[in-house]
Amino acid sequence: MARIASKNTKPEMIVRRMVHAMGYRYRLHRRDLPGKPDLVFPSRRAVIFVHGCFWHHHPDPACKDAVLPKSRTDYWSPKLARNEERDKQHVEALAAEGWHVLIIWECEVSAADLSDRIRRFLEHTAVPRPGGVY
């Protein structure tokens, strides 16, 4: 498991390129925020997590990547449950600090409407500047 990357994964890089092409600028993996979000938009108080379906246990039953392994279930079940609980705590802590959170699952990265979803999220979190200028 030492080879499992937590940063700069393929799905994360796809989302980063997409967001950058839309004209948004962001910070990466801020360690001072709960969960070290993948993309951080400080001026908008918004963060984006790009979760791997298996490791973060995507709750969508249609997701084929989130299937629990058939072997060593006594190991995998608690491990993935801990990951799920930790993710929930991070989202709650960020919300309590006034951050808006968007979670993008690995299986959603290739969805046609992902850029629209990200744009709606970021426009919703836009903070008005003095004088109403954006």
Q: DSSP letter at 42?
A: G
Reference 114, options 15, 26, 21, 9; nearest CA is 15
Confidence (pTM): 0.87
Asked whether residue 130 is assigned to any structural domain, the reply reads no
In a domain, residue 127? The reply is no
Q: Which residues of 40-61 are buried (b: 16+ CB within 10 A; e: fewer)?
A: bbeebebbbbbbbbbbbbbeee
Residue 55 maps to a domain: yes
Biggest alpha carbon distance in the chain? Answer: 60
The percentage of residues in the chain with a pLDDT greater than 90, rounded to a whole number, is 68
Asked if the structure places residue 47 within a domain, the reply is yes
Residue 2 domain flag: no
State pLDDT tens for residues 36-72: 999 999 999 999 999 999 989 898 888 888 888 889 9
- Residue 21 sits in a domain whose CATH number is 3.40.960.10
- Pairwise CA distance, residues 26 & 28, whole Å: 7
Q: Residue length, the chain?
A: 134
